Amino acid sequence: MAESRPFFRYSSWDVLPALGGVGIVTLLFVTFLGFDSLSWWFLAPAFVVIMRSYCWNLQCVSHNFIHNPFFSNDWLNRAYGVLETLTLGVPQILYHHYHMNHHFGDNDKVGPDGTTKDWSSIYRYGTNDQPESFLRYCFVSFFRVEVGPIVQKVLRKGRGQVNQLIVESVAMATFWITMLAVNWRYFVCFYLPSYYLGWVLSYAEGYLEHYGCQPGNQYANSVSSYHWLYNLVWFNNGYHQEHHWDPKKHWTRMRQLHEYIKPELIKNKTRIIQRPHLTALIEDWLAGRDVSGVRETTQQRRAA
């Protein structure tokens, strides 16, 4: 008798990020269908929540789904990819390869060929071997994503991923066209602003996950935060250096991975912050830290 496979491929705790994606798409439909009848007392906070959800989704739900697909059933994973497409506003399969390229380059500096391996590197459009300015990176990155190379990645992966791209693209286009046809005011005044600003927040977090680090050093190319509440809500995304050292390690195993490589983190002076990544610049300013170069933090000195 064949042994039955578990519903979740890696951990039953994946029910939490999986439900997160369902919750986001549910809130999108609620605001869309009730836009003309819902009070602004509901729509205003819903706008903020949806805007924030793009960052949370990209950094937590979609991110973990990329590295460790939630379900044992491949068709269920494909269906969840379609759902994530609706929540992100881009085909999940394209974001999959965009993010995997990020790990391929690990936020590298510009090489001899005049560019970076990592399409999202904060150094890609910087000057004088320095990162691009924070605000320009956040507000412009969305518009300069190189879609062609990402699509080529999908094409090289074969028919299965090509079909997935087609299905996700049709689903996204249908969703957008339906919103425009039924209530264009919702699409223009609510959906698009929250969509763009949500991606801006995600790029901000991505920037600060690597700002002030040592590109090329596998133990110090990312920023980690061990704040308990941040990691509880963000599914241990604070362990970012650990994640870059072993991208396939499940989010529930980050603490164990941290203890395993902790001596190397101390030795290589990994940049560590005490609060969420999005507040890193404020934290540096309050502490009087200059991380335009590599600096040892107070927390690292304590650890040493």
SS (HEC) of 136-195 = HHHHHHHHHCCHHHHHHHHHHCCHHHHHHHHHHHHHHHHHHHHHHHHCHHHHHHHHHHHH
pLDDT at 2: 47
Which residue from 99, 98, 89, 65 is spatially nearest to 79, judged by alpha carbons? 65
* Domain match, 68 and 188 both: yes
Q: Which of 208, 231, 252 is the last residue of a domain?
A: 208
Closest CA to 71 of 26, 154, 15: 15
Residues 71 and 186 occupy one common structural domain: yes
Kindly state the tokens that stand for 117. Answer: 């391996």
218 within some domain: no
pLDDT at residue 3, as a whole number: 53
Look at phi and psi of residue 158 and say left if phi exceeds 0, alpha if psi is from -120 to 50, else beta.
Answer: left
148, 179, 208 - which closes a domain: 208
| 217 occurs within a structural domain | no
* Total domain count, the chain: 2
> Which helix or strand (DSSP H or E) is residue 224 part of?
strand 223-225
C-alpha to C-alpha distance for 82 and 68, rounded to whole angstroms = 16
Residues 75 and 189 in one domain: yes
Residue 7 lies in a domain: no
In terms of domains, do 159 and 58 share one?
A: yes
Is 229 exposed, middle or buried (CB count within 10 Å of its CB: 0-12, 13-18, 19+)?
exposed
Residue 224 to residue 240: CA distance in whole angstroms: 5
- Same domain for 201 and 265? no
Asked if 261 and 188 sit in the same domain, the reply is no
In a domain, 216, yes or no: no
Asked if 89 and 184 sit in the same domain, the reply is yes
Nearest Cα residue to 232 out of 84, 56, 68, 58:
56
Based on the fold, state whether residues 16 and 148 are members of the same structural domain. Answer: yes
Element (H, E) at 225: strand 223-225
Domain ranges, residue 28 = 12-208
Whether 238 and 287 have beta carbons less than 8 Å apart is answered as no
Residue 273 lies in a domain: yes
Residuewise pLDDT in 10s, the chain (304 residues): 445 668 999 999 999 999 999 999 999 999 999 999 999 999 999 999 999 999 999 999 999 999 999 999 999 999 999 999 999 999 999 999 999 999 999 999 999 999 999 999 999 999 999 999 999 999 999 999 999 999 999 999 999 999 999 999 999 999 999 999 999 999 999 999 999 999 999 999 999 999 999 999 999 999 999 999 999 999 999 999 999 999 999 999 999 999 999 999 999 999 999 999 999 999 999 988 888 654 443 344 344 4
Q: Do residue 157 and residue 235 come from a single domain? A: no
Q: Which of 208, 240, 262 is the last residue of a domain?
A: 208
| Residue 274 within any structural domain of the chain | yes
